[in-house]
Amino acid sequence: MPSPRTLYQKHIDSHTVCTLDDQGHVLLYIDRQVANEYTSPQAFSGLRESGRDVWRPAATLAVVDHVNPTAPKRIATMPDAGGARQVSYFEENCRDFGIELFDVLDKRQGIEHVVAPEQGFILPGMVVAAGDSHTTTYGALGAFGFGIGTSEIEHLLATQTLVYKRLKTLRVTVNGELGAGVTSKDIIMALIEKIGASGATGYAIEFTGPVISALSVEARMTICNMAVEAGARGAFMAPDDKVFAYLQLKPRAPKGKTWEQAIERWKTLHSDHGAVFDREVSLDVAALEPMVTWGTSPDQASPVSGHVPDPARQPDPILRQGLQRALDYMGLKPGMPLSDVVISHAFIGSCTNARIEDLRDVARVVRGKRVAAHVRAMIVPGSTLVRNQAEEEGLAQIFLDAGFEWRQSGCSMCLAMNDDVLAPGDRCASSTNRNFEGRQGAGARTHLMSPAMVAAAAITGHLTDVRNFALEA
């Protein structure tokens, strides 16, 4: 009788073409990849220089998302010469190599990790690779996704395979019950704070437990998306009825008898009883509060009711130096309440938190209120389809009435593209995934939190516990 296997082992075993050595390296077949204009140019240039074709063009979906403007009125023209060249070369490559492209004016355009799931392009059991570290997002659908570099993109396009080294396995079991105002963003931020920004390096994380089962599919995407901020190369959850219902009406999901056969296959995608993981971590969220970051790494986070830490209390001199550098960059004083931190900007967007459920959360906070006079507040939906749905549901008008800028879809201020850039000294409450030095602009300061928490900060003008707001259903 075969030994019990983890879901990760099932993913990798089913996609291994051959074993390359006894160090864990295999040649791995990749089902799907998503390409963007920002990380693909060198890969396509390499194919052209070597005279090679794309092996399976239909396995790639191309999306313009990084460098496009997100101004309220959609335009096809890139505002800078570099961005214009990237987009035009991307269009040329997709045309010449036969790859489907969602360009800036396509009604399906958006951030790749929002677009691919909403199109049904990613399905349970698939192995997916792309030139973006947050490809881990697809684990919420029961797929296994991971980011790759430019040379690997070229190899993948040419062969539909990658040389891959097996990871160790980490199971994170989430117990308890989330309180009001606490979200999946707070769960993953709490995990990263607990195990550290390198705590999952070398591991693939499987998230499980009653709290995960209770979450919506979109909420699960947030967790898998940010797992990479703990160093994980992959993150996923076993697909369940919620995932099947989410996918069933998607444009590219299987239909009819093929759908029924797929469901039967997908129901086997779980870790076997008795499967052994290399590491186990348990997280109890019963007392979890909304989280915010105070430093320059996603693991430098605390409950919003907390205070800025004092580096002097850190006995390790290297860690103490790192804490002091973070506070110097962020312009914060040890011991100050986090709720005293005044912001200048509020940004809601990114592949982490710009889906329709995120925007509904924001609307519940800001309905009938106004953004603080000194705050510039922006909402950048994750896709054009999300934008249209928000307008149909009346959410967009709520945002506009509250004083938010309602913009077009794209990566935007998540990584300071185009004119969506903070100035030195600006301080932003952000629903994004990274708060590194200069991530949203040189000298800019970023505090990560859930979309609802960003909305609360935008209204009050400072970091604020969203639970202080009476939220309408």
| pLDDT tens profile 59-99 | 999 999 999 989 999 987 888 888 899 999 999 999 999 99
- For the chain, give every residue range classified as CATH 3.30.499.10: 7-165+241-263, 300-468
Once rounded to an integer, what is the mean pLDDT over residues 45-70?
A: 96
Residues 6+ apart with CB under 8 A from 165: 23, 24, 25, 26
- CATH number, span 300-468: 3.30.499.10
Q: Is 49 exposed, middle or buried (CB count within 10 Å of its CB: 0-12, 13-18, 19+)? A: exposed
State whether the Cα torsion 388-389-390-396 is positive or negative.
positive
Enter the DSSP assignment of 383. Answer: B
Phi, psi for 192 (deg, rounded to 5): -60, -40
Query: Which is higher by pLDDT, 23 or 471?
Result: 23
Minimal CA–CA distance to 172: which of 271, 246, 294, 240?
271
- In whole angstroms, what is the distance from residue 469 CA to residue 180 CA? 11
Once rounded to an integer, what is the mean pLDDT over residues 323-344?
A: 98
**Orientation of helix 356-366 relative to helix 384-392, angle to 10°:** 40
- For the chain, give every residue range classified as CATH 3.40.1060.10: 168-239+272-284
Q: Which CATH architecture has domain 168-239+272-284?
A: 3-Layer(aba) Sandwich (3.40)
Q: Is 56 exposed, middle or buried (CB count within 10 Å of its CB: 0-12, 13-18, 19+)? A: middle
Phi, psi for 142 (deg, rounded to 5): 85, 15
Once rounded to an integer, what is the mean pLDDT over residues 240-253?
A: 97
CB 131 within 8 A of CB 40: yes
- CATH number, span 7-165+241-263: 3.30.499.10
pLDDT at res. 77: 81
pTM: 0.97
Once rounded to an integer, what is the mean pLDDT over residues 280-291?
A: 98
pLDDT over 70 (residue 286): yes
pLDDT at res. 231: 98
Tell me what the pLDDT averaged over the chain comes to. 96
Residues 6+ apart with CB under 8 A from 354: 111, 114, 348, 380, 381, 382, 383, 386, 409, 431
**b/e map 293-324, b = 16+ CB within 10 Å:** bbbbbbbbbbbbeebbbebeeeeeeeeeebbe
Q: Please name every residue paired with 279 in a beta bridge, in sequence order, or none if there are none.
A: 170
Q: Please name every residue paired with 303 in a beta bridge, in sequence order, or none if there are none.
A: 291
- In whole angstroms, what is the distance from residue 338 CA to residue 303 CA? 9
| Six-digit token string for 159 | 């062969």
CA distances 346 to 63, 342, 413, 440, Å, are 26, 11, 10, 12
CA distances 28 to 25, 143, 269, 417, Å, are 9, 14, 18, 33
